[in-house]
Homo-oligomer: A and B are copies of this chain.
Amino acid sequence: MDRTLTPAPLTAADFAPFGDVLALRDAPDKTINDGFCGRHHDLGRLDFGSGRAGISLFDARPRSLPYRFDLLERHPEGSQAFVPMHRTPWLVIVAPDEAGRPGMPQAFIAQGQGINLHRGTWHGVLTPLEDGLFAVVDRIGAGANLEEYRLDTAWTVVAT
């Protein structure tokens, strides 16, 4: 029997164990461009280990709820940031590490927000709900940087 998860709106506080939410702060850190632009500065803890930073684009097929999954993955050598190139909602699935395996997963709905997964954080595959175009800032470099874990029992994310 499947187990179910209900997604919560993505907030910096709830997401802190897994990574950074890339969203506007209450006020900009600096105003630039003659007052026309606020800079919300240095929002993610980037870590590329022995590699370097790269920007790639991900073009993912949208999914819908209920969404069933039994695969989580992590990148042991670097952080991975996802920036939606749209304003539509997308699903974020993460899990704490428990002795080298993913623990109880959590689901969030992001909208108008990016995320930066900290190095080694268990997460689901990219799951847009409407528009699948994302910029990804992650590690480019030699060596294996993907670890996958197939769950014994699937989880299903259901609409709230």
Among B46, B56, B59, point to the contact of A54 (Cβ < 8 A).
Answer: B46
Per DSSP, chain A at the interface is strand
Do A114 and B135 touch across chains, with their CB atoms under 8 A apart? yes
Q: Are A54 and B42 in contact (CB under 8 A)?
A: yes
Residues of B within 8 A of A137 (CB): 53, 55, 137
Q: Which of A6-14, A84-92, A98-106 participates in binding chain B?
A: A84-92
Question: Contact between A55 and B44 (Cβ–Cβ < 8 Å)?
Answer: yes
A134 to B39, CA, bound (A): 10
Chain B residue nearest to A33 (CB atoms) is B125
For the complex of A and B, list the 6 residue pairs with the smallest distance between their C-beta atoms, beginning with the closest. Answer: A33-B125, A37-B60, A53-B53, A40-B57, A42-B54, A38-B59
